[in-house]
Amino acid sequence: MFSTPNTPLDEVRRMILRGENDTVDFKQRITKPDKIARTLVSFANTRGGTILVGVKDNGYICGIDPEEELHTLRLASEHYCNPPVALDYEEVESDDRTVLVVTVHESKSKPHFAKVKEDDWRGYVRVKDTSVQTSNMVNKTLLNEHPVFEKLPLDRHENAVLEYLQTSPRITLKQYMKLANLSQRRAYRTLVKLVIHGYLRLHDKEKEDYYTLS
């Protein structure tokens, strides 16, 4: 029995069927370099990923003009990412529609930052299908360590917060410090680790940040 090598289109279709996740993102178009820069940075800071340009959120292949998209991507990667994020490109045809497959490799120069506005650069990591903004402490962790972004065995301090959230809707940093009897620095690093690995979700839109189960 002979096997046929996979074509790029076959792989694109498989990625679409699996949906967006921690290593795949769909973009119908790329029009704003500052917004796509956050996705580029989040992949580079985590374990890399693929952006399918010309694919809607529901997986429908709408196609694009690759030259226009490439211009915005290059602008974003070179001028809205610091340090710049290296990208690989490939054009794939599906029923006369072009999908631009953009590959972002996990970076050896972490952390990368995205330009949100003038003189405002922020770090992001990829958690599930979302680019999550980091803090200064997380950026230092990315710089000094080589985390593995996947599910991992947990110690008693990490399990403590998960057990607490089985019966409570949320937890703050101060509550976790008291619960686990940890210093602020160690407690924060633990919570960030659990967010990055997909156990917790960070909510930072209110007065005080809090965490919930993913």
Residues 119 and 155 in one domain: no
Contacts of 139 (CB under 8 A, 6+ apart): 111, 113, 123
> Residue 46 belongs to what domain range?
8-134
Which CATH number do you get for residue 97? 3.30.950.30
Query: Are residues 123 and 203 both part of a single domain?
Result: no
Same domain, 48 and 127: yes
φ/ψ of residue 88, rounded to 5: -115, 140
Q: What confidence category does residue 148 fall into, taking pLDDT thresholds of 50, 70 and 90?
A: very low
CATH number of the domain encompassing residue 162: 1.10.10.10
H/E element, 50: strand 49-53
Q: Is residue 97 domain-shared with residue 53, that is, in the same domain?
A: yes
Q: What is the DSSP string of 57-70?
A: TTS-B----HHHHH
Percent helix, strand and coil across the chain, each rounded to 5? 35, 25, 35
When divided into structural domains, the chain yields a total of: 2
Whether this model's pTM surpasses 0.75: no
Task: Give residue-wise pLDDT tens across range 11-70.
Answer: 999 999 999 998 999 999 999 999 999 999 999 998 899 999 999 999 999 999 999 999
Q: Are 21 and 102 found together in one domain?
A: yes
Residues 208 and 169 in one domain: yes
pLDDT of residue 69: 95
* Residue finishing a domain among 76, 104, 134: 134
Clarify whether residues 13 and 115 are in a common domain. Answer: yes
139 belongs to a structural domain: no
Residue with token string 């949320």:
170
